[in-house]
Structures are given as C-alpha cells and as structure tokens.
Amino acid sequence: MAEEAAVKAKFFAHPLALIDSDEIGDRTRVWAFAHVLKGARVGCDCNIGEHAFIEGGATLGNNVTVKNGVSVWAHVIVEDNCFLGPHCVFTNDMNPRAYIKKGPETLLPTLIKANSTIGANATIVCGNTIGRFAFVGAGSVVIRDVEEYAMVVGNPARQIGWMCECAAKLPMTASAAIGEACACGQCHAEFVRVSSGLVRR
C-alpha cells in the first residue's frame, strides 16, 4: 500500500477521477470523471480534463492537454506538447459493425505528432498521421494525413494554409511549391516548403 501511495503521489488525481493505469508521469493532472484505463501510458505534465477517457493501449506523451470530453482509444499515439480540443474524436476501426467482434490486431493506429493542435469537435479518422505543428480547425473531419505545419479545416478537411510554431498563420499559400520560403509576421521564424510540409530555416 505504501508503494502504491508513493506512485500515485507523483501526479494529481481528482477524488472523482478513475485511475487504473500505473503509467502516469510526474505532475500530470487528472480531473473529475476522467477515466484512465489500465495499460494506458500518460507522460509527465499532462492535463486530462473532465469526462476524458484514455483507453488501455493509448499513449500520451509529455505536456499533452486533453480537454473535456475527449476519448483517446487504443492504438492512438499522441506525442509531446499536443493540444486535444474539447470533444475532439478519435477512432480505431475503419468499418465497425456492432455484431462483428474484432480483435485488437485489426485496429488501425493513429499518430498525432509533437506540437500539433486538434480543434474542438474535430474528428480524426483512424489510420492517419497528423504532422508536427499541424493545426486541425474546429469541427474538421480528417480522412488523410496532414503535413507538418499545415492548417486544415472542413469536412472532409482540406488545407487552407500553414501555421507557425507561435500559433500565427503564415503568409504562404497551401499550394506553395517545394523550395518556396516565408517568414512569420509575428515571431519572424523562417520556413521552407519541403515534401513533408514545412521545415525551419
């Protein structure tokens, strides 16, 4: 019991939170009515809002914000410093039927790369990757991979531009050619268009 108490003392759990996992990092906060299942891996300095659900087999990196009402299912990996907006949706079965029981090996993974943002009520269809620093607008439905630093909106989501690390929209068109460069008007960071999205200069 003393060893269990020492483990739980490393993070904050609201008295009304349900914590079944023993893999929660230091300084993480889990708020009321959130449920972290056994087998879920949660990094340090995360904030898991009310009514969130982290399933066994899901992974959250360090400093991930999970706003209220978000369910993160098995085979969803969220890397460091990501923001999951209120009630955004993940999936892990491309063609579910209630009467067809599938094993975990049939589920499709989803990867949310470091420093990206998923807006409120956005849906990320399984099997896709959201690139580093990408920005998925509120209510969007993502059905394909999103490039690094790309800003996507709509249903289905389409790219409308690029977002800086400082969260300002960059002065570059979504259709910019490989090698085209731009600078952020807010923080003055410089970027170049490459095949995977943008990179810092």
Q: Give the pLDDT of residue 189.
A: 98
Q: Give the pLDDT of residue 90.
A: 98
Q: Give the pLDDT of residue 5.
A: 47
Q: 65 near 47, Cβ under 8 Å?
A: yes
Q: Give the pLDDT of residue 121.
A: 98
**Spatial distance between the Cα atoms of 163 and 133, rounded to a whole number of angstroms:** 7
Q: Give the pLDDT of residue 29.
A: 98
Residues of the chain short of pLDDT 70, as ranges, are 1-9
**Spatial distance between the Cα atoms of 94 and 125, rounded to a whole number of angstroms:** 8
Q: Taking the complete model, does pTM exceed 0.75, yes or no?
A: yes
Q: Give the pLDDT of residue 2.
A: 44
Q: What is the 3-state secondary structure (H, E, C) of 61-101?
A: CCCCEECCCCEECCCEEECCCCEECCCCEECCCCCCCCCCC
**Spatial distance between the Cα atoms of 160 and 140, rounded to a whole number of angstroms:** 12
Q: Give the pLDDT of residue 104.
A: 87
pLDDT tens digits for range 163-190: 999 999 999 999 999 999 999 999 999 9
**Spatial distance between the Cα atoms of 31 and 16, rounded to a whole number of angstroms:** 7
Instruction: For the chain, list the domains and their CATH numbers.
Output: 2-169 (2.160.10.10)
Burial of 37 (0-12, 13-18, 19+ CB in 10 A): middle
**Spatial distance between the Cα atoms of 88 and 139, rounded to a whole number of angstroms:** 8
